[in-house]
Every structure is written in C-alpha cells, then in structure tokens.
Amino acid sequence: QKEVEQNSGPLSVPEGAIASLNCTYSDRGSQSFFWYRQYSGKSPELIMFIYSNGDKEDGRFTAQLNKASQYVSLLIRDSQPSDSATYLCAVKGGGGADGLTFGKGTHLIIQP
C-alpha cells in the first residue's frame, strides 16, 4: 500500500514570510513527485514537479527532493494571502500502472 503523508495543518504563516510544506512517502520506487494547490471547492492545480534529488526553483516556489529520506518539500517565498489554499503532495511510482498517489493535503493560511 503506497502512502503519502502530510501534516494536515492548518499551517499559519505571516505575509511575506517563507512557508514550508513537507511530505513523506512510503514507496521507495517512486520516481516522480508533484505539488498541487487546491482552493476550497476547486480542482487541484499543478504548481511544481520534481524528478531528481535536490532543489528545483520556479518563481517563488522551490521543490526539494531527498529520495534517501523519502521526503519532499515545497517552499513558498514572499508568501501572499492568495497562497492560502490546501497543498497536495502527489507521488508516482516507477511502474506507470496507476495514477498519482495523493497525500491528504496541508491547509496553508497566509496571515495579512
């Protein structure tokens, strides 16, 4: 049973600060890792994906992957109130036989 774990939060961060979201996964054969943002009542929106160990930056977002520790994180710099949402970590195994396995998400609140 593949599992993806996230702290459900809520995680409260002051506007302008760095928000740090974390995720661990159980399947050591996982190959691809994704972060989605989901506003209440809306569908998930892809923010970042990362395949290799290390950091990947895109604008205010940085994804970090450590396969040895089975750990993925998302950093949001200069947090804005519009970043308030639920962030879903998703993992894909190497076999390609199924879709993504999602964590339950972390609810992020950016305080103005």
3-state secondary structure of 16: coil
CB count within 10 Å of CB 65 equals 20
| Candidate list 32, 67, 70, 71; residue touching another protein; CB under 8 A | 32
- 10 contacts: CB under 8 Å, gap ≥ 6: 107, 108, 109
Q: How far is the CB of 110 from another protein (least distance, A)?
A: 22
Q: Is 82 in the site for another protein (CB under 8 A)?
A: no
Name the amino acid, one letter, at 54.
G
Q: Structure tokens of 52? A: 């290799």
Query: Using CB under 8 A as the criterion, what x/- string covers residues 35-54 for binding another protein?
Result: -x-----xxxxx--x-----
> How many residues form the binding site for another protein (CB under 8 A)?
23
Note the residues at the interface with another protein (CB under 8 A). Answer: 32, 34, 36, 42-46, 49, 88, 90, 92, 95-105
